Homo-oligomer: A and B are copies of this chain.
Amino acid sequence: MNIAIILAGGVGSRMKTIDRPKQYIEVKGRPIINYCLRTFQRHKEVDEIYIVADVSWQDYITDWIKKDKITKFCGFAPAGKSRQHSIYNGLIACEQSAGEEAVVIIHDAARPFVTEEIIDECIAGAKEMDGAMPVITVKDTVYCSKDGKSIASLLERSQLFAGQAPESFRYGKYRRIHDAATDEELANTRGSSEIAYKNGMEIRLFPGAEKNFKITTMEDLTNFEAELNKEGV
Binding site for B on A (CB under 8 A): 135, 138, 140-146, 148-152, 154-155, 157, 159-163, 190-191, 193-194, 197-198, 202-207, 219, 222-223, 226
Asked whether, in the complex, the Cβ of B193 is within 8 Å of the Cβ of A151, the reply is yes
Bound together, the chains give a CA A119 to CA B56 distance in angstroms of: 48
List residues of chain B with CB within 8 A of the CB of A145. Answer: 135, 159, 161, 205
Known: A157-B190, A203-B150. A163 touches B141 (CB 8 A): yes
A-B contact pairs, 15 of them (CB 8 A): A135-B143, A138-B142, A141-B163, A142-B160, A142-B163, A143-B162, A144-B160, A146-B159, A149-B205, A150-B205, A151-B197, A155-B155, A155-B160, A219-B219, A219-B222
Provide the residues of chain B in CB contact with A163, threshold 8 Å: 140-143
Choose among A141, A205, A219, A226 the residue with the greatest number of B CB atoms under 10 Å from its CB. Answer: A141
A129 nearest CB across to chain B (Å): 8
Does the CB pair B140–A162 fall under 8 Å? yes
Query: How close is A148's CB to chain B, nearest CB, in angstroms?
Result: 6
Set B143, B207, B226: member contacting A161, Cβ < 8 A: B143
For the complex, would chain A's binding face be called helix, strand, loop or mixed by DSSP majority?
mixed
In addition to A142-B142, A155-B160, A219-B226, 12 A-B residue pairs with Cβ atoms within 8 Å of each other are A135-B145, A135-B148, A138-B140, A138-B142, A140-B163, A143-B160, A144-B159, A144-B161, A148-B161, A149-B204, A154-B194, A222-B222
User: Residues of B contacting A197 with CB < 8 Å?
Assistant: 151, 154
**How many angstroms from the CA of A40 to the CA of B208 in the assembled complex?**
40
Q: Is the CB of B162 within 8 A of A142?
A: yes
Also in contact, A191 and B141, with CB within 8 A (given A155-B155, A219-B222): yes
Could you say which residues of chain B place their CB within 8 Å of the CB of A157?
190
| A151 with B205: CB separation less than 8 A | yes
CB-CB nearest 7 A-B residue pairs? A140-B162, A141-B191, A141-B163, A141-B190, A143-B161, A219-B223, A151-B197
Give chain B residues whose Cβ lies under 8 Å from the Cβ of A190.
141, 157
